[in-house]
A and B are shown apart, each in its own frame.
Chain A
């Protein structure tokens, strides 16, 4: 009994460490306090500021559009790359695998800086064209799509593809109708992973973004250095909104996973 209590305490303490700051901030985002600790009345003004200040709205929308655009390109490239590598000869496959591993293990600072040097300093592509930023984010995300598709290809039953060919399907039709559906869960989770990586990125964006464009990360980092209180507390509201979106996403996913599990076991 005592051991069990101990175990619960450890788990609860770690969870507190991870969540207390976000939760305290969430509570204070609904007040008009400018600092944690001050006790003030209920107010929604942070949320009003968040959704009516053009600068903030633009920054949030820009971040989301960038994340989905980068994730889309990364998913297409990474998925095709995974299929190609999976069916390639050993040398080619291991070359792609090794190159794919570089951005995964590399520090994001180095990835961002090296892309900036190549595209901006050497090739002279303007950062205002958004090309370096998009390329940077696709480079950051595509390897993870690749890594989530490969296991699905390995699990796939290859005889179905052969059967399709024997029954007269062209390789292309067989790919679209047989291979893609079987690896689809991997593609979806790769896409989701790509979106979260792009949303979370600071380093690649800071070295490749146009000066007038900000993602949530670059904006927040600059805003915390300035002392503008209304913006600072509006960001508390943003943190709370993102937290709620993540919770919602997690709940939906969990419910769906639970339902799929039941369907599969025939209950």
Chain B
């Protein structure tokens, strides 16, 4: 009987345990910390504190603003590039696609350093245009994550549908608006979710570009530096809530995740 004890199902046990221990348990602890104070008593102070403090509320709004503008800029740059590339019959196509992906493999802090040097040279001082620099920095960092999913979706698009649209008398613009654009929506949504959320939380980009304003992620950083685990947990929980909301809204239509350039 012993040789049948081995089963393929049981191979998943270590990973399931790992996920429970290091993914689910930390989140539960996060919830506990968010709703308790230093003495371990239940409190809503961290929550109400967040929504009554003009600083934290301002940060939330500013984060949304930064993330929305960054996502818009990335979409405006990425869609035409992805569309042109996906519909072209260029021989060097695979090389160009690779060029769009490669920045994901270069350490982002070094890429932001490079951008910072260029911007310092162009603008004299980074302090003159904090908002512009933040959006530029984030777009520079996240652009590949927008291009790749859109490119993938448009590439897979059934060309027969476009032909049919033309046969039925649609102009090129009309065919694009009625066929290509709606069908590339999953790619757009996937790209948006991969740019919008990091743009709300990646405070290092701002930090490195000498910006004095804060986004949501930097609140966690500042609570962490002050050993305020309870306040930090509440911010983390709120961010998690935003993530959940986002995932829920895009569920079903979302393409496979392409973080890290999973095109090997």
Measuring CB to CB, which residues of chain A are less than 8 angstroms from any residue of chain B?
7, 10-11, 14-15, 17-22, 24-25, 28, 35-37, 77-78, 80-89, 92, 95-96, 99-111, 113-118, 121-122, 135, 138-139, 142, 144, 146-148, 170-172, 175, 188-189, 192-193, 196-197, 199-200, 202-203, 207, 216-217, 220-221, 224-225, 235-236, 238-239, 242-243, 246-247, 249-250, 253-254
B58 lies within 8 A of chain A by Cβ = no
Choose among A170, A224, A242 the residue that contacts B208 (Cβ–Cβ < 8 A): A224
Closest to A185 in B: B264
The stretch of B47-55, B152-160, B178-186, B228-236 in contact with A is B228-236
A24-B198 contact in complex given A18-B100, A102-B27, A110-B239, C-beta closer than 8 Å: no
Judge whether B243 and A220 touch: CB under 8 Å: no
Closest to B250 in A: A105
CB distance from A82 to the nearest CB of B (A): 8
Known: A118-B22, A221-B208. 10 other contacts (CB 8 A): A18-B99, A18-B143, A18-B144, A84-B15, A102-B24, A105-B246, A113-B232, A138-B22, A172-B6, A250-B105
Measuring CB to CB, which residues of chain B are less than 8 angstroms from any residue of chain A?
3-4, 6-16, 18-20, 22-27, 29-30, 33, 77-78, 80-81, 84-85, 88, 94-96, 98-100, 102-111, 113-118, 120-121, 140, 143-144, 147, 193, 197-198, 200-204, 207-208, 217, 220-221, 224, 229, 232-233, 236, 239-240, 243, 246-247, 256-257, 259-262, 264
Residues of A within 8 A of B111 (CB): 21-22, 239
Judge whether A196 and B114 touch: CB under 8 Å: no
Q: How far is the CA of A113 from the CA of B220 in the complex (A)?
A: 8
Judge whether A197 and B16 touch: CB under 8 Å: no
Q: How far is the CA of A139 from the CA of B157 in the complex (A)?
A: 34
Closest to B194 in A: A105
Q: How far is the CA of A83 from the CA of B10 in the complex (A)?
A: 9
What total of A-B pairs shows CB separation below 8 Å? 279
A14-B77 contact in complex given A81-B16, A221-B109, C-beta closer than 8 Å: yes
Q: How far is the CA of A116 from the CA of B9 in the complex (A)?
A: 31
Could you name 8 residue pairs across A and B whose Cβ atoms are closer than 8 Å? A35-B121, A81-B12, A107-B243, A114-B29, A114-B236, A118-B29, A175-B8, A217-B109
Q: How far is the CA of A114 from the CA of B140 in the complex (A)?
A: 28
Q: How far is the CA of A11 from the CA of B78 in the complex (A)?
A: 10
Q: How far is the CA of A245 from the CA of B259 in the complex (A)?
A: 20
Judge whether A99 and B23 touch: CB under 8 Å: yes
A171-B80 contact in complex given A21-B115, A25-B114, A102-B23, C-beta closer than 8 Å: no
Judge whether A83 and B109 touch: CB under 8 Å: no
Q: How far is the CA of A253 from the CA of B224 in the complex (A)?
A: 41
Residues of A within 8 A of B204 (CB): 202-203, 217, 221
Residues of B within 8 A of A238 (CB): 110
Residues of A within 8 A of B7 (CB): 87, 171
Residues of A within 8 A of B6 (CB): 170-172
Choose among A10, A197, A250 the residue that contacts B98 (Cβ–Cβ < 8 A): A250
Q: How far is the CA of A95 from the CA of B19 in the complex (A)?
A: 10
CB distance from A183 to the nearest CB of B (A): 12
